[in-house]
Amino acid sequence: MPSTLARPSGDAMTEPLLSVRDLSVAFHQGGTTSLAVDRVSFDIKPGEVVALVGESGSGKSVTANSMLRLLPYPSASHPSGEILFGGHDLLKAPEQALRQVRGNQITMIFQEPMTSLNPLHTIEKQIGEILDLHQGITGQAARSRILGLLNQVGIREPEKRLQAYPHQLSGGQRQRVMIAMALANRPKLLIADEPTTALDVTVQAQILELLRRLKGEHGMSMLFITHDLGIVRKFADRVCVMTKGKIVESGDVESVFVNPQHPYTRHLLASEPRGEPPLADPAKPVVMEGEDIRVWFPIKAGFLRKVVDHVKAVDGVSLSLRAGETLGVVGESGSGKTTLGLALARLISSEGRIAFIGNNIANFSFTQMRPLRDRLQVVFQDPYGSLSPRMSVGEIIAEGLKVHEPALSADERDERVRWALTEVGLDPETRWRYPHEFSGGQRQRIAIARAMVLKPRFVMLDEPTSALDMTVQAQVVDLLRDLQKKHDLAYLFISHDLKVVKALANHVIVMRAGKVVEEGPAERIFQAPEKDYTKALMAAAFNLEAVDTAAVSQ
Amino acid sequence: MEAQATVTTPAGAPPRRGWLSPTNRRRLQKFKANRRGYWSFWIFMVLFVLSLFAELIANDRPIIASYKGEILFPVLVDYPEEKFGGFLATTDYRSSFITDEIEANGWMVWPPIRYSYLTVNSNIPHSAPTAPFWLMDTEQRCAGYPLGQEDPGCILGNLNWLGTDDQARDVAARIIYGFRVSVLFGLALTIASAVIGVTAGAIQGYFGGWTDLLFQRFIEIWSSMPVLYILLIIAAILPPGFFVLLGIMLLFSWVGFVGVVRAEFLRARNFEYVNAARALGVGNWTIMFRHLLPNAMVATLTFLPFILSGSIATLTSLDFLGFGMPPGSPSLGEMIAQGKNNLQAPWLGLTAFFTMSIMLSLLIFIGEAVRDAFDPRKTFG
């Protein structure tokens, strides 16, 4: 892996810029106290990139937020520890002094660029506010400085963007504006809390590239919080691995990755989704076939609501899928891949022929579809949202049985529910519990069980792994592959995560703006992509490299 | 691994979870944590249940009596007066003739207050309205009885605890019955408008589109009608009565629920678990009932106590204006009107005022506690 990053020589004598000593964070709620961070220590040297890696709930964001005392005090508190910055303990600094540090010497960028920008203010006003606050720059001087910053973060045609509101920018551009705001006062330390998680892979690669360049230009240090080991390896100098509020291992990126000491680090490193999809058998029957599927949403204008144009969410896609086969649909957000899946499952109306086990279901009404729905199942992206919080797991799984096999007695239904839970690797006795008692991975298993209990032929999987932690992702991928082998299922696997698609799909469709850019056997697409867009996607996903091509949007 | 959750119960049998789901148990806990609301709830319930048995507390006939060896239940049965040697169609147990006759041939158990809401006290010391007995000296309070202080009728149960109104009816008895009518009316109106409003809001929110558009426009027109005038006009045409009033007010009060429920349904119909149910082939009505209604019920239940107090206040104000319950019925509004007309008898206005304000405050406190209980952001402790 070629690295353009000039690593500092690792001089142990340099004075650390920021030093965290024995930091603990506790949260009090309803009379109980939970320790989110447990005596964590690390240093950040000038010009160094330190990565905090861990799964959700490991306390990495809480650690970062406590550096600028951004936690919800007083329900949060620090039982122990100090954070030394420029000779002062930030934890004990008065609010006045802390405001001088925040946004000036230490700045932060957050995960969700939409909610971190004020939707009511223009870009110029938001950046200008920071300049005014800390440096007292206003008027023409501020404007030229803002233009310089926007140029620096690679916003094309910054003059036109000054008066833009956040909703007029794409996710990547918003994150660039956030970075411009963070850089406005030439901070010594930039804390980046999962800055690319909400972005598409190609945009993620661009943002990483930008951060790397800016770090070199400004000579600042960075604390990089992420769950993505690929980013850490590519980007950081030193890494601290966190789990359950503790740093279990820290050291140089190279040594930690090559020679991990702690079992958790090894577990994390080994948890990339892996394995090969089962071979497709051309003799098997075709389960799902789509021909020239179009989903156009009308744009209406004028007094009479005349249709003036269409948003072409899916525009002429054809596909066919055999039993025991997985069709991967990849693309960036907004490319129409989920809409395509919903159209095939007849959950939204579409045009074009859709054939499911021999029936042309394209014009079936909801009632006509009902007898087929047991063999056509859907698993949604968000396991927190897709299970009704008011029903027990058993009721959730049995709901479909009540519709499709109403003749079953309560005992027979219970039997089937237990079978489905066993199939997905959950203890059948958990069926009396409620969804909130389960972790994200377990919930996704429940959602899969809900689909499996009806013994489907075709399952549409809409990003089933994107809301899950890395180690759990790998388990769910393994589970899906096992179930496919056992029951000869046909999967439509929709994902933006190419690594997961690679582990599951026999055939891949690359979508962009509702159209198919490239399609073919998974092996060929991954080994030898033909189109520029596919190449850029692969480079961004597997090597975190931004390819400068017109095929990719900013 | 993460997939193995530990469970110790034997196979097959559902573990005991109580009759409340965990969410509802937490809500109950939060409701109890609001001490003021919790106490208000119990005080209100006690008052309400007591008022349901108003006939046993304030009545102009004995609860149970023994006459010539026969056990009688005058509260429940209308005995003709000839049974006791009189001549009226219904017995006036308060007359000294009947009282003496029964006492001589048996015994009787009176309610603590020996007046019903319509009973006229014929032994008042001076012209009505008369003051509560504790504002008069012993001689004065028995002045209306033939034998004065020695009269056997001049006892606690026959004295007017809160005075009498301008028709010499006992205020305490009228308050007890009036409270019952107010609360029952409020409850009936609230429940009926909740049922109609939630159904309408659910249909609008779930189906959306044209259904929603037409319904919304209709509601806008409907709710911009001058409700009070229409009430007055209808009340002038139809004979006044509990159910007529209920019907008239129901015409307009259900609209209040529609907005909240519609918004909840609009929001929740795109929840992933609703889409998941749709993908399973579950029908529209089942989805509405099983998946969406519980969401909307939170908003509705939070609303209920406030709607209840609003309904009670509306009934009272109609009564005050004279367009409410038929003349003679026990009513707080009518008592306020009497208080206004008889400023020399402040016990009328004050009694009605305190009854109203205590009742409405209790309901508002309960409402606050319910709102706290359903607030997902509120933590207690």
- Give the tens place of pLDDT for each residue, B108-151: 888 998 898 988 888 888 887 888 888 888 888 888 888 877 78
In angstroms, what separates the C-alpha of B201 from chain A's closest C-alpha? 21
How many whole angstroms from its chain centre is CA B381? Answer: 33
C-alpha B75/C-alpha B55 separation (Å) is 7
> How far apart, in Å, are the Cα atoms of A68 and each of A71, A118, A131, A225?
8, 20, 19, 15
Helix, strand, coil shares of chain B as percentages rounded to 5?
Answer: 60, 5, 35
State residue B378 phi and psi, 5-degree precision: -80, 125
C-alpha A142/C-alpha A148 separation (Å) is 10
Residue pLDDT, tens place only, A27-37: 887 678 888 89
Structure tokens at A381: 């992206």
Q: Which helix (H) or strand (E) is A29 found in, with range?
A: strand A18-29
* Cβ separation A380–B276 shorter than 8 A: yes
Q: Which helix (H) or strand (E) is A338 found in, with range?
A: helix A337-344
- Quick one: which of B75, B38, B36 has its CA closest to B54? B75
Measured between CB atoms, does A440 come within 8 Å of chain B? no
Structure tokens at A550: 């017109």
- Quote ipTM for the complex: 0.74
Which single residue is written with the structure tokens 């009107």? B337
* Residue B316 · residue B332 · CB < 8 Å: yes
Q: Which helix (H) or strand (E) is A248 found in, with range?
A: strand A246-252
* Partner B, chain A 463-482, Cβ-Cβ below 8 Å: 472, 475
How many whole angstroms from its chain centre is CA B96? Answer: 36
Q: Which residues contact A50 (CB under 8 A, 6 or more apart)?
A: A42, A44, A221, A222, A223, A224, A236, A237, A238, A239, A240
Measured between CB atoms, does A399 come within 8 Å of chain B? yes
* Partner B, chain A 483-522, Cβ-Cβ below 8 Å: none
Q: Which amino acid type is present at position B349? A: G
- Quick one: which of B258, B245, B176 has its CA closest to B215? B258
Facing residue for B281 by CB, picked from A30, A370, A475: A370
* Residue A276 · residue A480 · CB < 8 Å: no
Residue pLDDT, tens place only, A486-512: 899 999 999 888 888 988 999 999 998
Question: What was the pLDDT predicted at A11?
Answer: 47
- Quick one: which of B126, B149, B131 has its CA closest to B139? B149
C-alpha B315/C-alpha A462 separation (Å) is 55
Residue A418: closest C-alpha in chain B: B12
Q: Which residues contact B312 (CB under 8 A, 6 or more apart)?
A: B182, B183, B185, B186, B359, B360, B363
- Between chain A and chain B, how many beta carbons pairs sit less than 8 Å apart? 96
Facing residue for B272 by CB, picked from A382, A429, A439: A382
Chain A residues touching residue B6 (CB < 8 angstroms)? 427
In angstroms, what separates the C-alpha of B45 from chain A's closest C-alpha? 29
Residue pLDDT, tens place only, A400-449: 899 898 888 989 999 999 999 998 988 888 888 888 888 888 899 999 99
* Partner B, chain A 150-209, Cβ-Cβ below 8 Å: none
* Cβ separation A399–B280 shorter than 8 A: yes
Could you say which DSSP state residue B120 is in?
B
Measured between CB atoms, does A406 come within 8 Å of chain B? no
Q: Which residues contact B62 (CB under 8 A, 6 or more apart)?
A: B74, B75, B93, B102, B108, B109, B110, B111
Residue A381: closest C-alpha in chain B: B272
How many whole angstroms from its chain centre is CA A109? Answer: 16
Q: Evaluate if residue B3 carries a pLDDT over 70.
A: no
* Cβ separation A380–B277 shorter than 8 A: no
In angstroms, what separates the C-alpha of A32 from chain B's closest C-alpha? 9
Helix, strand, coil shares of chain A as percentages rounded to 5?
Answer: 40, 25, 35
Q: Evaluate if residue A293 carries a pLDDT over 60.
A: yes
Measured between CB atoms, does A411 come within 8 Å of chain B? no
Which has the higher per-residue pLDDT, A276 or A517? Answer: A517
When pLDDT is cut at 50, 70 and 90, the band that residue A1 belongs to is very low
R_g (Cα) of chain A, nearest Å: 26
Residue B17: closest C-alpha in chain A: A432
Mean pLDDT of A140-168: 87
* Residue A276 · residue A478 · CB < 8 Å: no
Facing residue for A390 by CB, picked from B4, B17, B23: B23
For B285-293, the CB contacts below 8 A with 24+ separation are B287/B206, B288/B202, B288/B206, B290/A388, B290/A391, B290/A399, B291/A388, B292/B202, B292/B205, B292/B206, B292/B264, B292/B265, B292/B268, B293/B198, B293/B202
C-alpha B283/C-alpha B298 separation (Å) is 23
* Cβ separation A429–B7 shorter than 8 A: yes
Beta partners for B120? B169
* Residue B176 · residue B351 · CB < 8 Å: no
C-alpha B165/C-alpha B339 separation (Å) is 9
Q: Evaluate if residue B214 carries a pLDDT over 90.
A: yes
Interface of B with A (CB under 8 A): 1-7, 9, 11, 14-15, 17, 21-23, 271-273, 275-283, 290-291, 294, 379-381
Mean pLDDT of A83-93: 87
When pLDDT is cut at 50, 70 and 90, the band that residue B218 belongs to is very high
- Quick one: which of A391, A314, A371 has its CA closest to B274? A391
Structure tokens at A295: 């989903």
Chain B residues touching residue A450 (CB < 8 angstroms)? 276, 280
Q: Which helix (H) or strand (E) is A494 found in, with range?
A: strand A490-495
In angstroms, what separates the C-alpha of A127 from chain B's closest C-alpha? 33
* Residue A271 · residue A474 · CB < 8 Å: yes
Beta partners for A32? A29
Query: pTM of the prediction?
Result: 0.76
Question: What was the pLDDT predicted at B188?
Answer: 94
Measured between CB atoms, does A74 come within 8 Å of chain B? no
**Strands A359-360 vs A351-356: parallel, antiparallel or unpaired:** antiparallel
Residue A28: closest C-alpha in chain B: B381
Mean pLDDT of chain A: 86
* Cβ separation A430–B7 shorter than 8 A: yes
In angstroms, what separates the C-alpha of B243 from chain A's closest C-alpha? 37
- Quick one: which of A286, A284, A299, A282 has its CA closest to A353? A286
